[in-house]
Chain A
Amino acid sequence: MSQRHILALFSNFDEAEAVVKELRTSQIKGFDVDKDMVVKSPIEHPEVEEFLGDKPVYVQWFTLVGAVLGGLLGFFLISGAQANFYAQLKGGKPIVPLPPNFVLTYEMFILGGVFITILGFLICAGLPARRSPLYSAKVSEDQIGILVQVDESAARALKEIFTKHQALEIQEEAGK
């Protein structure tokens, strides 16, 4: 069955929340709230996450891996270089001195953590991204957008819900 994209714009978070709640309870055939709906907002709004339900964030795992790898890379790079000095006299001092090496290991730990966190962010947030099939610049100004992808047969029911909750504007486009 052919799909349609519908974008509805609302003037505040309360209306958007009411729409999401109704969509969850309405059991529209050919439409899954968790998979087929995206909420777009001009600000980071913790309440959006509350009414959308818990969705996992994996960025912190990238951070952990990046920081550990950065620290290990730093330590072994320095120690490896120092180990080459076996050929040279060290005057009884340790070949791989731990206290000073800790400083650079620490810096590399942070460097790795930050770089890989950014990489994780881009992957998890799906960036860089192409524009959605429907986009309104009003979302970056002061309106909340709800973008849904539905079977053509369910489009009418969804639009009725949007209208009922005082959508300021409804855009529609044929999907793939």
Chain B
Amino acid sequence: MKDINEDIAWAKINQDVLKSLENPRKLYWVIVLSALAVFSVGVGCEVYQYNVGMGVANLNNPHVWGLYIATFIFWIGMSHSGTLLSAILHLMHADWRKPIYRFAEAMTTFSLMTAGLFVMVHIGRLWQFYYSLPYPNERGLWPNFQSPLLWDAMAIFTYLSSSILFLYVGMIPDLAIARDNIHEGWRKKLYSALALGWEGTDRQWRNFRVTYLTIACFLIPLAVSVHSIVASDFAMSQQPGWHVTSFPPYFVAGALYSGCAAIITLFIILRYVFRFEEYMTLPILKKTVRLTFAISMVWTYLNAVEFASVWYSHDEASKAVLIQKATGPYAPFWWGMIFCGSVVPLVLAIKRFQTSIPVLFVVSLLLNLGMWLERWMIVAPTFSHGYYPWTWDHDQWPSLVQWGMVLGSFGWFTLLFMIFCKVFPSVSMYEVKEMVYHRKLHSKKSESQGAH
């Protein structure tokens, strides 16, 4: 089965994608309104926490990070999907990525925006946020440049701004198509401004290709560095359970894993909502599923490596944290993580499920639940079983305010993402045309060689 119908007319590609900007199914509005409602809960919780103080979040020693930082890591991880599909697969000339990479890039951008919010939220005193940036205070003192927390701020800023530019540059030819085909109105003005006068000249395409490739090359090490730095927030501390050498690759694998799972979820939603059945095809979904399965196995392996290195290190404090994860109050969540992250993906190895939309939708949600639990299981158990015995009886469960904020972040992300897909083409028109053109050319060549 072919990834895409090679006989599809280029004009039809334009029409189908541009139609998605104006005429989605009703489910679109249901999702947007639900996301708005959920986001409002998060805003309400933040306003309450801001007015009353951090006590309402039930964040206190030893549990100083709670769900906020766990969710922060989750969203940073989610952002790796765009880099994987856009940059890595672009360099590998995997052209099946073309119909789906745009929304993955948008996911990257909005995940990072969501993650950034948690940095501010967990501080409590929002006005102190500036101190995590490389900027001196009124006494001329700069932040500690040796702290991974400051590296985090810089890495996320670099990743966010680069991702936005990458997304925008890759969209310029499509914005020109939209400009040429949309009737008068605010959309026409918006697309005209953003298309920068693009006309598809040979000079523009030549420079475009080099630019896109160059930024893709930058984004790959950048994405790796971002999540390695997030891992350093933990691994460079002396806390039991965190001081593990394999944390950076473990974090990067987890990031790619959750990103891929989210791509499957959003693939299924966008395919239905915007009637993209001809572009987001089942063979492409199958390839994404196989990629996700491969990454899930890497993640499972690195998980095992982490457990083994803690177990055989004979560091009693780290060992105690590991035992506590498996048998203590967090055990249901820890085993849930193992189940969702390592057992559920085995479904993806079964051929008939690789194109089953209902099964994949449920599985992808479970995978992401597993990846969220993973982050929580990194943060919470160590705080509740540190070197000091006084920490051992402080099982502070996250308050409803924390849960509300976590929920709100999903609303915020969904809202931004769905608005983006309604305003900008979520399928790259010019790249789908390229894909169709080159595949057709390749088929013709194969046929003529076969005839001889």
Chain A contact residues, CB within 8 Å of chain B: 38-45, 48-49, 52, 55, 57, 59-60, 63, 77-78, 81-82, 84, 97, 100-101, 103-104, 106-108, 110-111, 113-115, 117-118, 120-122, 124-132, 135, 137, 139-142
Contacts and interface: CB of A to CB of B under 8 A. Distances in A.
B433 A43 contact: yes
B263 to A, nearest CB: 23
Contacts of A117: 211, 214-215, 218
A100 B149 CA distance: 12
Contacts of A82: 142, 145
A55 B173 CA distance: 21
- Point out which of A48, A52, A55, A106 has the most chain B C-beta atoms below 10 A from its C-beta: A106
Given A55-B203, A129-B199, A140 B158 contact: no
Contacts of B10: 42, 141-142
Given A114-B162, A137-B180, A84 B206 contact: no
Given A103-B229, A132-B199, A142-B11, A41 B155 contact: no
A58 B222 CA distance: 23
A113 B201 contact: no
Nearest to A47: B441
Contact of B145 (A104, A111, A114): A104
Contact of B208 (A42, A121, A128, A135): A121
Contacts of B61: none
Contacts of A101: 145
B196 A128 contact: yes
B169 A118 contact: yes
A41 B11 CA distance: 14
A118 B162 CA distance: 10
Given A81-B142, A142-B11, A137 B214 contact: no
Interface string B413-452: 0000000000000000010011001000000000000000
Given A129-B196, A141-B177, A110 B222 contact: yes
Contacts of B140: 84
A110 B214 CA distance: 11
A121 B430 contact: no
Interface of B: 9-11, 14, 134, 136, 140, 142, 145-146, 150-151, 154-155, 157-158, 161-162, 165-166, 169, 172-173, 176-177, 180-181, 196-211, 214-215, 218, 221-222, 225, 229, 430, 433-434, 437
A168 to B, nearest CB: 13
Q: What is the interface of chain A mostly: helix, strand, loop, or mixed?
A: helix
A114 B161 contact: yes
Contact of B206 (A49, A60, A120, A139): A49
B215 A114 contact: yes
Given A40-B199, A140-B180, A118 B165 contact: yes
Contacts of A127: 172, 196-198, 204
Contact of A128 (B166, B197, B222): B197
B205 A41 contact: yes
Contacts, number: 161
A57 B166 CA distance: 19
Nearest to A136: B180
A38 B200 CA distance: 10
Contacts of A110: 158, 162, 218, 221-222, 225
Contacts of B430: 42-44
Contacts of A135: 199
A157 to B, nearest CB: 22
A78 to B, nearest CB: 5
B161 A111 contact: yes
Nearest to A143: B10
B203 A41 contact: no
B199 A114 contact: no
A121 B214 CA distance: 11
B440 to A, nearest CB: 11
Contacts of B150: 104
Contacts of B9: 142
Nearest to B181: A137
Contacts of B201: 38-40
Given A100-B146, A127-B198, 15 more contacts: A38-B201, A45-B437, A60-B210, A77-B134, A81-B134, A106-B225, A108-B154, A110-B221, A114-B158, A118-B211, A128-B196, A130-B197, A140-B176, A141-B14, A142-B433
A42 B200 contact: yes
A52 B433 contact: no
Among A77, A82, A111, the most chain B Cβ lie within 10 Å of the Cβ of A111
The 5 closest A-B pairs by CB, nearest first: A129-B197, A142-B10, A137-B180, A121-B211, A128-B196
